[in-house]
Amino acid sequence: MAEDRSMFVEFFGDYPMIRVLDFLMENSVFDYSKKDISRNADVSWNTLGTFWANIEETGVVVYTRKVGKAGMYKINTASPIVKQLMELDKKLVKNSLENVGREKQKIKAMAMLCCITHGFVEPVGSLCAIQSSWL
């Protein structure tokens, strides 16, 4: 599961509350039972119970409705806390994408240099066979 971690979890650490917040933020349109939240965030039911009251009392999650015997909850996108967390998550993703772009540019430059050094470049600026295979 480590390879599936979001930027939010990578930044704050792989802790149960962080995984729950991450799951709810990524699925902010839908409401879920606590059992579904526990399962989807990969947090045990008992662990969820240790902090659930806190995130509900602070308004991070809100009760939406009842389905059968299960109460349904979702992230409270109107909460100032949640707004800040979601903004931070967007900035983390943007920063990561910018870093990927910079790394790709470095690889492209190194590949072009390698192609020029080994005489593989046809017209200036085109991709040689080696460079194409690196990208």
pLDDT in tens, 33-89: 999 999 999 999 999 999 999 999 999 999 999 999 999 999 999 999 999 999 999
- Tell whether 36 and 67 lie within a shared domain: yes
**Domain that residue 62 falls in:** 2-78
State the total domains in the chain: 2
- Tell whether 72 and 90 lie within a shared domain: no
- Tell whether 18 and 62 lie within a shared domain: yes
pLDDT at 129 over 60: no
- Tell whether 14 and 59 lie within a shared domain: yes
Q: For the whole model, what pTM was predicted?
A: 0.70
- Tell whether 117 and 89 lie within a shared domain: yes
- Tell whether 64 and 18 lie within a shared domain: yes
pLDDT digits (tens, 9 = 90+) for 11-44: 899 999 999 999 999 999 999 999 999 999 999 9
What interhelical angle do 45-57 and 16-26 show, nearest 10? Answer: 70
- Tell whether 57 and 16 lie within a shared domain: yes
Of 134 and 40, the one with more pLDDT: 40
Give the whole-angstrom CA distance, residue 37 versus residue 83: 20
